[in-house]
């Protein structure tokens, strides 16, 4: 329901539901599949319609995102190294952790801010920061900055665009564009690696082209 109908989820679960989703996606490794971007934008649209209080929504979302990342850091500091030895399961995919590690190594402390806007990566970056024992004061500063721009930024985008007639009646399309935009960095990263690009080609040939030919 969260993935396909964020509006219904928000109307059902309210501010507590928003807090819990952002908390889980921001730092609990099993929350990587949750749709934080679309949830924040939709909440902003609903706030513009008077269904949610805008200031309260911003505070709740900000606290959920910041506290989630803080827990992710603590979790990484405690058991982060063991995760690299863990096998894939329904709620854990090692390649997300490895991608987050590479992103962290490339961008350093700024990763805590940048990762907020990249699905999957934002869930695992705090765990990586904890694993490598990043200085907590630095981590906390970037956590607050990133959490503010991500939550308040997307909520405000929905809030101020929500009363535009086209957006008000077709905001599902805007959410779709936000999801595509947030996934774009991951797609670019995947296609920039020749080995990964070849794997994608093989996957497409095996699962789609052959089926079309058979038909």
- Who contacts 27 (Cβ-Cβ below 8 Å, separation ≥6)? 68, 69, 70, 71, 72, 73, 75, 123, 126, 127
| CA atoms of 159 and 175, how far apart (whole Å) | 13
Q: Which of 45, 50, 40 has its CA nearest to residue 2?
A: 40
Model pLDDT, residue 194: 67
In tens, the pLDDT along 105-127 reads 777 778 888 888 877 778 888 88
Q: Name the pLDDT band for 212 (thresholds 50, 70, 90).
A: very low
Model pLDDT, residue 31: 60
Q: Name the pLDDT band for 171 (thresholds 50, 70, 90).
A: low
**What is the percentage of the chain residues whose pLDDT exceeds 90?**
25
Total residue length of the chain: 215
pLDDT score of 101 more than 50? yes
Provide the token pair at 36.
């934080």
Provide the token pair at 95.
């390649």
Model pLDDT, residue 25: 87
Q: What is the mean pLDDT of residues 54-60?
A: 97
Q: What is the mean pLDDT of residues 145-169?
A: 86
**What is the percentage of the chain residues whose pLDDT exceeds 70?**
66
Q: Name the pLDDT band for 215 (thresholds 50, 70, 90).
A: very low
In tens, the pLDDT along 46-56 reads 999 899 999 99
- Domain extents in the chain: 6-214
| CA atoms of 118 and 135, how far apart (whole Å) | 23
For residue 35, with 0-12 CB atoms within 10 Å meaning exposed, 13-18 middle and 19 or more buried, which class applies? buried
Q: What is the mean pLDDT of residues 6-17?
A: 88
Q: What is the full DSSP assignment across the chain?
A: -TTT-HHHHHHHHHHHHHHHHHHHHHH-GGGTTS-HHHHHHHHHHHHHTTSS-HHHHHHHHHHHHHHHHHHHHHHHHHHHHHHTTPPPBTTB-HHHHHHHHHHHHHHGGGHHHHGGGSTTHHHHHHHHHHHTT--HHHHHHHHHHHHHHHHHHHHHHHHHHTTSHHHHHHHHHHHHHHHHHHHHHHHHHHHHSHHHHHHHHHHHIIIIIHHHHH-
CB atoms within 10 A of CB 42: 28
Average pLDDT, the chain: 78
Model pLDDT, residue 28: 77
In tens, the pLDDT along 74-85 reads 988 887 677 666
Q: What is the mean pLDDT of residues 119-142?
A: 84
Model pLDDT, residue 209: 45
C-beta of residue 189 within 8 angstroms of C-beta of residue 115: no
CA 9 to chain centre: 17
Model pLDDT, residue 165: 77
Model pLDDT, residue 145: 94
Model pLDDT, residue 211: 46
């Amino acid at each position: 329901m969260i993935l396909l109908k964020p509006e219904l989820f928000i109307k059902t679960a309210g501010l507590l539901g928003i807090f819990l989703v952002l908390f889980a996606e921001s730092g609990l490794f099993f929350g990587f599949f949750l749709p934080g971007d679309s949830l924040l934008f939709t909440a902003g649209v609903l706030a513009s319609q008077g269904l949610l209080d805008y200031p309260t929504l911003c505070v709740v979302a900000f606290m959920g995102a910041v506290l989630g990342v803080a827990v992710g850091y603590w979790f990484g500091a405690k058991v982060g190294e063991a995760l690299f030895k863990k096998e894939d399961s329904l709620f854990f995919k090692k390649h997300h952790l490895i991608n987050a590690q590479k992103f962290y190594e490339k961008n350093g402390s700024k990763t805590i801010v940048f990762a907020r806007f990249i699905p999957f990566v934002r869930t695992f970056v705090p765990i990586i920061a904890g694993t490598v024992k990043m200085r907590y004061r630095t981590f906390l500063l970037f956590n607050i900055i990133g959490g503010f721009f991500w939550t308040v930024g997307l909520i405000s985008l929905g809030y101020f665009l929500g009363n535009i007639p086209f957006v008000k009646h077709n905001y599902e399309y805007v959410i779709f564009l936000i999801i595509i935009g947030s996934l774009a960095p991951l797609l670019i990263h995947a296609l920039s690696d020749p080995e990964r690009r070849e794997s994608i080609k093989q996957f497409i040939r095996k699962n789609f082209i052959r089926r079309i030919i058979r038909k």
